Amino acid sequence: MPVPSIARRHLLAAGVLQALGLRGAFAASESYPDRPLRMIVGFPAGGSADQSARRLADQLGRQLGKPVVVDNRPGASGNIAAAAAARSAPDGYTLFYGSNATHAMNVSLYPRLDYDPVKDFAPIALDGKVYNVLCVHPDFAATDLQGLVALTRKAPDSIPVATPGNATSGHLSLVLMQQAASVRFVHVPYKGSAPAATDVLGGQVPALFDNVAGTLAHIRAGKLRPLAVTARQRLPLLPDVPTFEELGLRGCEVAAWGALWAPAGTPPAILQRLNVEMNRALATPAVADRMRELSVEPQGGSAEALAAFASEETLRWRDVIRKAGIHLD
């Protein structure tokens, strides 16, 4: 029997080592988890992002057999939480509920981040998307988008529009609409959806740009009049509300989204286990139905799909943010 060449012996050795490594990784994943997990969330308790994270954490805990405890660390558009998650041990016991802010927008909004959204994280899966809606107070003169645009063209910089804050998806939706329609509104940023909606409901500000989850109850109660949504197609919960594209304004598709990540270096077998469990959770009727009740569209998919999606979003918002000259300190 011929003696294997040196190159062949190296290949055989590498194959054995790889097999042993994979066997060890899968063996470790079989006992995972053996203690509670922590999910860091960069937004306050009670908000829409927190509700989404808690719903996911609860279902993952049921499936994994260990609690998944939500750790809220609000501030700086999620940057504080992202930095804490990036510095955590990559052992599968710390997860991060990231968003379009932490993994697509903030890199173009802030002069410096204490984390790298690509190098410091391993993607698991996309959780859900929620679209935005432009609303006005029912007593406002404009009853549709065309009327609002016409009023603004007659008197630029005269109509205030409330959003949940600077550089939120509501603000950037407003920026895209202004660019598409060649008009200028007065942006009125608030510290969250609730105070923005309160002032519009009270008539202090005539218009609001926010996600459907935060406005749906007011729309259904007749306290806000929806003009257009930032989805590509009409939304099932608002079937009578047209999209911006239907009304002739292209490039206004915007979705706020959440996704699950782990610190870079987390074992591949554990990441794969978490991806499987997350997709399983999103397919659970109780979870999916509850998400849709909140106007959030379940997503799921592979880790590779999440990485590609976040990369596309990063490039898209980089160009929009630079053109609009938006920056945060």
CATH of the domain at 150: 3.40.190.10
Residues composing the chain = 329
Contact (Cβ atoms closer than 8 angstroms) between residue 64 and residue 6? no
Evaluate whether residue 165 is within a structural domain.
Answer: yes
Q: Which pLDDT band, with edges at 50, 70 and 90, does 5 fall under? A: very low
Q: Is the pLDDT of residue 324 over 60?
A: yes
Mark whether 53 and 95 lie in a shared domain: yes
pLDDT at 83: 97
Query: 178-227 pLDDT, tens per residue?
Result: 999 999 999 999 888 889 999 999 999 999 999 998 899 999 999 999 99
d(Cα 67, Cα 204) in Å, to the nearest integer?
44
Evaluate whether residue 7 is within a structural domain.
Answer: no
pTM of the model: 0.83
d(Cα 94, Cα 260) in Å, to the nearest integer?
11
Mark whether 291 and 309 lie in a shared domain: yes
pLDDT at 202: 96
Mark whether 73 and 56 lie in a shared domain: yes
* DSSP strand pairing (225-229 vs 160-163): unpaired
Q: Is the pLDDT of residue 29 over 90?
A: no
pLDDT at 14: 39
pLDDT at 165: 86
Mark whether 40 and 125 lie in a shared domain: yes
How many domains does the chain divide into?
2
pLDDT at 11: 39
pLDDT at 168: 87
- Report the percent of the chain where pLDDT is more than 70: 91
Give yes or no for a cis peptide into 164 (omega within 30° of 0): no
Mark whether 81 and 218 lie in a shared domain: no
Q: Is 281 helix (H, G, I), strand (E, B) or coil?
A: helix
Evaluate whether residue 13 is within a structural domain.
Answer: no
pLDDT at 9: 40
Evaluate whether residue 139 is within a structural domain.
Answer: yes
Mark whether 125 and 136 lie in a shared domain: no
Mark whether 137 and 225 lie in a shared domain: yes
Evaluate whether residue 67 is within a structural domain.
Answer: yes
Mark whether 180 and 208 lie in a shared domain: yes
Contact (Cβ atoms closer than 8 angstroms) between residue 82 and residue 41? no
Q: Which residue has the tokens 């077998």?
A: 269
Domain that holds residue 98: 36-129+256-324
Contact (Cβ atoms closer than 8 angstroms) between residue 39 and residue 71? yes
Instruction: Check which CATH number belongs to the domain holding 110 and give it.
Output: 3.40.190.150
Q: Domain ends where: 189, 212, 229?
A: 229
What's the whole-number average pLDDT of the chain? 89
For the segment 125-148, the average pLDDT, to the nearest whole number, is 96
Evaluate whether residue 250 is within a structural domain.
Answer: no
Evaluate whether residue 267 is within a structural domain.
Answer: yes
Evaluate whether residue 319 is within a structural domain.
Answer: yes
